[in-house]
Amino acid sequence: MSKFGFISIVGKTNVGKSTLLNKILERKLAITSRKPQTTRNRILGAWNHKDMQAIFLDTPGVHTGHKKVLNKYMNQVAMHALKNVDLILFIVDRDRWGEEEERIIKQLNGSKIPVILVINKIDRIKNKEDLLPTIEKLKAKFDFEEIIPISALKNKNAPKELYEVIINYLPHGQPHYEEDFVTDLSKEFFISEIIREKAINRLGDELPYSISIIIDALKEDKKLLSISATIYVDSKSHKPILLGKKGDMMKSIGTAARKEIQFEYDKKVFLELWVKVKKKWTDDVNWISQLGYDLKKYEN
């Protein structure tokens, strides 16, 4: 009998949610970075396995330190993912439990949705027995259906053991999407995310949070994909940092992005990048809406 369901991947920033999603799907769908708050929107990815279809929802990391409109939106998206799904994968770092995790637990209390606690980054533990006290402590936090230690980066227990759990907890039902369906992301969104990833992985700690990408033009034929995009920063002082000496930073970002876009779409890519300033855009409701973030959708 067929199985189908929606699965939310939730947790605080930088615990490896997007890395895990990419491992499960066996393709890069969500951009990754060591910088916190890399994921800004809900990323949907479909996994088809024999007679089962699981729809994963990767979410922004829950965080409490920022109060700007963009940060509030990201938290709303994450909290919304705790509702109307069939299974929740709650990802935590092996040795870090704080205010963000407590906030998620508070939202989960009273919910009838099964929750699997996934302890990530166990590759940093030499002796597995050292993990036992952590597991016992986390058992007291919530009535988790199961607790599974993994290393999403090093592939320990992920995704093999998670496959078995997912299959077990998904309800019976017919697939909602065609077998070749992968995601509902638009090509423009996916390309803008690739550019943003290449930028944030080359910049310092502050600048990644203040950049946004808009695809100004996209033309495609059988052999060529032509893209014109603008990278926006929220301060004049950030523009020369992004440009780099003699434009070296922008060249590096553009080259890396072009190579990955070519790989994804298997055709030659012409990529033109510009840099502009949009002051305090992370606190500008209208501008954030223009970027494709649906503020009203996740208000409740």
Task: Judge if 134 and 192 occupy the same domain.
Answer: no
Structure confidence at residue 158 (pLDDT)? 62
Please tell me whether 17 is known to bind a ligand: yes
Whether residue 300 lies inside any domain: the answer is: no
Structure confidence at residue 291 (pLDDT)? 84
Task: Judge if 154 and 226 occupy the same domain.
Answer: no
Please tell me whether 123 is known to bind a ligand: yes
Domain total in the chain: 2
Please tell me whether 254 is known to bind a ligand: no
Which residue blocks in the chain are alpha helix, DSSP H? 17-25, 69-80, 99-108, 132-139, 160-169, 187-200, 239-243, 248-265, 285-290
Whether residue 240 lies inside any domain: the answer is: yes
Task: Choose the final residue of a domain: 169, 199, 232.
Answer: 169
Please tell me whether 127 is known to bind a ligand: no
Q: Say which amino acid occupies 74.
A: M
Whether residue 232 lies inside any domain: the answer is: yes
Please tell me whether 286 is known to bind a ligand: no
CATH code, domain with 100: 3.40.50.300
**One pLDDT digit (tens) per residue for the chain, 300 residues:** 799 999 999 999 888 899 999 988 988 999 888 888 889 889 999 999 888 999 999 999 988 776 788 888 898 898 888 899 999 999 998 777 888 999 999 988 888 999 999 988 877 777 777 788 888 888 888 999 999 988 877 775 566 778 888 889 999 999 999 989 999 999 999 999 999 999 999 987 767 778 999 999 999 998 999 999 999 999 999 999 999 999 999 999 999 999 999 999 999 999 999 999 999 998 999 888 888 887 777 765
Task: Judge if 160 and 121 occupy the same domain.
Answer: yes
Domain that holds residue 213: 187-290
Please tell me whether 13 is known to bind a ligand: yes
Please tell me whether 15 is known to bind a ligand: yes
Please tell me whether 292 is known to bind a ligand: no
CATH code, domain with 254: 3.30.300.20
Please tell me whether 84 is known to bind a ligand: no
Nearest to 76 by CA among 293, 281, 280, 292: 293
Considering only the C-alpha atoms of the chain, give the largest distance between any 2 of them, rounded to a whole number of Å.
Answer: 61
Task: Choose the final residue of a domain: 169, 198, 226.
Answer: 169
Give, in order, the Cα–Cα distances in Å from 300 to each of 62, 79, 87, 153, 288: 16, 9, 20, 33, 18
Task: Judge if 19 and 140 occupy the same domain.
Answer: yes
Please tell me whether 111 is known to bind a ligand: no
Please tell me whether 120 is known to bind a ligand: yes
Task: Judge if 119 and 198 occupy the same domain.
Answer: no
Please tell me whether 59 is known to bind a ligand: yes
Task: Judge if 137 and 10 occupy the same domain.
Answer: yes
Please tell me whether 58 is known to bind a ligand: yes
Nearest to 58 by CA among 25, 34, 106, 35: 25
Task: Judge if 131 and 226 occupy the same domain.
Answer: no
Please tell me whether 155 is known to bind a ligand: no
Task: Judge if 98 and 212 occupy the same domain.
Answer: no
Structure confidence at residue 95 (pLDDT)? 73
Whether 162 contacts 25, CB under 8 Å: no
Nearest to 253 by CA among 189, 192, 193, 197: 197
Task: Choose the final residue of a domain: 140, 169, 198.
Answer: 169
Q: Give tens-digit pLDDT for 175-211.
A: 999 989 999 999 999 999 999 999 999 987 767 778 9
